[in-house]
Amino acid sequence: MSLADKVLAVNNDLPIRTDAPVHSGKVRSVYWLTKEDSARLIKEKGYDVQEGAELAVMVISDRISAFECIWTGEGGMKGVPGKGAALNAISNHWFKLFRENGLADSHILDIPHPLVWVVQKAKPVMIEAICRQYITGSMWRAYAKGEREFCGIQIAEGLQKDQKLPELLITPSTKGILSGIPGVPEVDDVNVTRDDIVNNHEAFRFKSKGDVDRYEQLLKEGFNLISDALAEIDQVFVDTKFEFGYVTDADGNEKLIYMDEVGTPDSSRIWDGPSYRDGKVVENSKEVFRQELLNYFPDADILVNKDRMEERYALARDNELPAALIQKVSDTYVGIAEKIIGKKLVQSDNPKAEIIEVLRNDFGLID
């Protein structure tokens, strides 16, 4: 079996019983279970969810996206070996740590396979909550051009690129297009201030103003927990994105939970500690892939200029990346996952067949 066979590139064609269209994102596909299957699993597995809750099977792929495109490698490589398993393993690790430390639950109810989650439907808060501990990336580029206010927060003068910030910075942006919020444009992913959120908490789908404080608390506690754990393995937690939502437990209590993924190389920047102390940034995140792409293509402007999207899509569609580049990205993802979880990453020889077997035999979701 070739390495390409071990990559799960297509994850929206599994024969999982569902009445709804499969929802496919850039990396994950979501299969909403039938009412009957949701009710049966809640009863059989004893999940702590409200009776009648909607459940889904979420299958991660090994696809890799960057600059809003999906990229492939030579030799039929439609993804990065080990990437999906690495992302799930890292998220699972942090979610478990959050629970053990009394922070909050996640949307995950079960982990049938390294590439699969059984999740409950949550009502998402319409915020991508970005936490920054160092000034780098887009924030540094804006700062270097003279910007000193970020999401309503004034930043000190005299900061250097990649420097640690005086305090943890929360720079939220909208998740989806929100209307009717004074001063906030009706476009996806636009920066907002804390006042915007507090004064329009219902538009952002918070149940109360107090829950804005709760989300900030969970954000800071989650960030600090991951940051401290990464420091123990000499890695630097630079910045990350959190997402939140509401679910109702078996006793009818509505609660704010962590959603999506947390602390992964796709949603965060992680730097190698020893290299950073030597004055050099070595990325253990998707930033490695972005930089490789910028270096690989002669006209890097195509990748960053939104006025050239058609050219960018064509670039991704018509170019298979060198195997060595894909392998470097695989090594980054698997390497940081194994550091974080403290053991060898479980990878599949035939992921699709394994997923079908476990969902048929242990969950009764495949005929």
pTM of the predicted protein model = 0.95
Q: Which pLDDT score, from 0 to 100, does residue 180 have?
A: 84
Whether residue 166 is contained in a domain is answered as: yes
What does DSSP assign to residue 7? -
- How many structural domains are present in the chain? 2
The verdict on 143 and 239 lying in the same domain is: yes
pLDDT in tens, the chain (367 residues): 566 778 999 999 999 999 999 999 999 999 999 999 999 999 999 999 999 999 999 999 999 999 999 999 998 899 999 999 999 999 999 999 999 999 999 999 999 999 999 999 999 999 999 999 999 988 999 999 999 999 999 999 999 999 999 999 999 999 988 888 888 888 888 899 999 999 999 999 999 999 999 999 999 999 999 999 999 999 999 999 999 999 999 999 999 999 999 999 999 999 999 999 999 999 999 999 999 999 999 999 999 999 999 999 999 999 999 999 999 999 999 999 999 999 999 998 899 999 999 999 999 999 9
How many CA atoms are closer than 13 Å to the CA of 35, on its beta-carbon side?
Answer: 2
The verdict on 227 and 265 lying in the same domain is: yes
Whether residue 180 is contained in a domain is answered as: yes
> Of 253, 277, 301, which residue constitutes the final position of a domain?
277
Rounded Cα distance, 304 and 126, in Å: 26
The verdict on 118 and 132 lying in the same domain is: no
Whether residue 285 is contained in a domain is answered as: no
Give CA separation, 55 vs 99, 107, 367, in Å.
20, 10, 18
The verdict on 15 and 136 lying in the same domain is: no
Q: Which pLDDT score, from 0 to 100, does residue 149 have?
A: 92
Strand partners of residue 120: 55
Which of 137, 121, 130, 118 is closest to 57 using CA atoms?
118
> Of 240, 259, 277, which residue constitutes the final position of a domain?
277
Chain center to CA of 240: 9
Q: Which pLDDT score, from 0 to 100, does residue 339 have?
A: 97
The verdict on 210 and 260 lying in the same domain is: yes
Rounded Cα distance, 253 and 246, in Å: 10
The verdict on 109 and 184 lying in the same domain is: no
The verdict on 267 and 347 lying in the same domain is: no
pLDDT, tens digit, for every residue of 323-333? Answer: 999 999 999 99
The verdict on 163 and 96 lying in the same domain is: no
Q: Which pLDDT score, from 0 to 100, does residue 72 have?
A: 96
Q: Which pLDDT score, from 0 to 100, does residue 188 have?
A: 86
**Which structural domain, as residue segments, surrounds residue 178?**
124-277
The verdict on 35 and 179 lying in the same domain is: no
